[in-house]
Amino acid sequence: MASSVNPSLESEVRVDVTAIEKSLAELWRSNKEGGDDEALTRAALWNVVAHTSSDDHRTNASEVLGKASAAVPQRTIIVRSDPAGEADIASWISANCHPVGGGKQVCSEEITIVAGGDRIHRVPPLVNALLIPDMPVAVWWIGDLPNEHEAYVESLLDPADRLIVDSVHFDSPADLALLSRVAEETTTAPADLNWVRLEEWRAATASIFDPPHMRARLQSIRRVRVVSGASDESFFGESIESLLFASWISAQVDHHVDATGKVESSSGSVDYAFERRRQSTDVGGITYVEVGFEDGSVASIARDRDRGVLTANVDGNISSPESVTRAASQKLDELIVRQLKRTDVDRVLLKVLPIATRLARRITR
């Protein structure tokens, strides 16, 4: 939970499932009677529904969204659903309050619903009723991806404008394909926290091609090499950041990726290579990228962990001043904030997902 500027609001109170809205209204009314009304503002730009399947995930989601609500005020609904658990449903309310200066604070509401056994089917309609009207809805799915054809999942996702997942936990290319299908077959836009992690690499790479003389070189890319960190266990999710990066380049410069993962540009084949280096921290994260051109020149982007930046250089027949991109925070709450601050559908990700599914063949072979 966020900084405890208003303990009476922030402590979790168990409430009757059938009277959550009424209990929330009472919470604010009692606060007003306490004389704090002028100093306190309720705000919401999003409805965020976090779907969890364990108590640890539930606690973690509450912490992350509590922090995130300082930057993006939201009505947070945390669902802990356990089909194998005892048939029961219970709910709690609290508020996440953050000071905004001048002795004022902004509060966002948090509702927790815990359901087990056959009672889990009561959750989607309950969540639906608790959504603030006219505000967009994001469902953050924590844990294994759902079976998209289950009635429970369908009804939970029905009001969602956005489905947020973290592909670092994906098991196979089928998970990427599922995300792609969500985009194609529903009105819910997929969003991936791993894609947000990649933003600094995209910005650093883009900076190489900002100078007019470099922009013309996008068509002469012949080689893309992506190096990432790998753990001893080596699982598919570790490779996805690299995969999304490579797919992004290919999508934006019109390379064609066939069903076998072979890549062609208008002037011939392009070599996409993925390298994984064992390391104990930042598993899955990209550490180095090289882009080779027709004339032998090479652009490289490297993470300088000590200085907290990514540096981009070009060597060979051409040169450009070094470009420095600040590495962004990779904390989960800040990734969520960056995701929610995007107000429109991420069309680039939609282009990238099907390509990543095909390019994944180069990794899983």
Partner 1 sequence: MSVAAPPPALAANPLREGLEQERVPDASALVIFGASGDLTQRKLIPALYSLAHDGLLPAGQTIIGFARPDFTDEAFRLAMRESCDKFARTRPVDEAVWENFAKGLFYVQGEFAEHEAYIRLNQKLQDCDKTRGTGGRRIYYLAVPPQFFPTISELLGKEKMVTDPEQGGPFTRVIIEKPFGHDLKSAKELNKVAVTTFRERQVFRIDHYLGKETVQNLLVLRFANGIFEPFWNRQYIDHVQITVAESIGVEKRGGYFEGAGITRDIIQNHLLQLVSLISMEPPVAFEADAVRDEKVKVLRALREFKVGQETENAVRGQYSDGSVLGEKAIAYRKEENVNPESRVDTFAAMKIFVDNWRWADVPFYIRAGKRLPKRVTDISIHFRPAPYPLWRKVPSVRMQPNVLAFRIQPDEGISLKFDSKVPGPSVKTAPVTMEFRYATSFGAEPPEAYERLLLETMLGDSTLFARRDEVETAWAWLDPLLDNWGADPRPPDFYPAGTWGPESADALIEKDGRKWRRP
Site residues for partner 1 per CB under 8 A: 41, 43, 45, 70-73, 100-102, 106, 199, 202-203, 205-213, 215-216, 218, 249, 252-253, 304, 307-309, 312, 320-326, 346-349
Decide: 327 and 303 in contact? Cβ < 8 Å: yes
Identify the burial level of 310 via C-beta atoms within 10 angstroms of its C-beta, where 0-12 means exposed, 13-18 middle and 19 or more buried.
buried
Decide: 94 and 1 in contact? Cβ < 8 Å: yes
Length of the chain: 365
Q: Considering the complex, what minimum distance in angstroms separates the CB of residue 103 from partner 1?
A: 12
Nearer to partner 1, 157 or 299 (CB): 299
Nearer to partner 1, 90 or 328 (CB): 328
State the pairing for strand pair 162-165/104-116: unpaired
State the pairing for strand pair 323-326/309-315: antiparallel
Q: Please state the φ and ψ torsions of residue 36, each to the nearest 5 degrees.
A: -95, 5
Q: Considering the complex, what minimum distance in angstroms separates the CB of residue 71 from partner 1?
A: 4
Task: From 121, 114, 236, 228, select the one nearest 168 (Cα to Cα).
Answer: 236
Nearer to partner 1, 238 or 346 (CB): 346
Q: Considering the complex, what minimum distance in angstroms separates the CB of residue 267 from partner 1?
A: 17
Q: Considering the complex, what minimum distance in angstroms separates the CB of residue 210 from partner 1?
A: 5
Q: Considering the complex, what minimum distance in angstroms separates the CB of residue 57 from partner 1?
A: 26
Nearer to partner 1, 73 or 124 (CB): 73
Nearer to partner 1, 22 or 307 (CB): 307
Q: Considering the complex, what minimum distance in angstroms separates the CB of residue 208 from partner 1?
A: 8
* E strand or H helix that includes residue 190: strand 189-192
Nearer to partner 1, 170 or 201 (CB): 201
**Which residues are bridge partners to 230 per DSSP?**
278
Alpha-carbon gap, residue 268 to 255, rounded angstroms: 10
Number of H helices, E strands in the chain: 13, 18
Hey, is 259 helix, strand or coil? coil
Nearer to partner 1, 133 or 212 (CB): 212
Q: Considering the complex, what minimum distance in angstroms separates the CB of residue 231 from partner 1?
A: 28
Amino acid at 266: S
Alpha-carbon gap, residue 116 to 87, rounded angstroms: 5
Which tokens sit at 332? 């989960």
Nearer to partner 1, 228 or 325 (CB): 325
With tokens 């990514």, the residue in question is 310
Q: Considering the complex, what minimum distance in angstroms separates the CB of residue 98 from partner 1?
A: 8
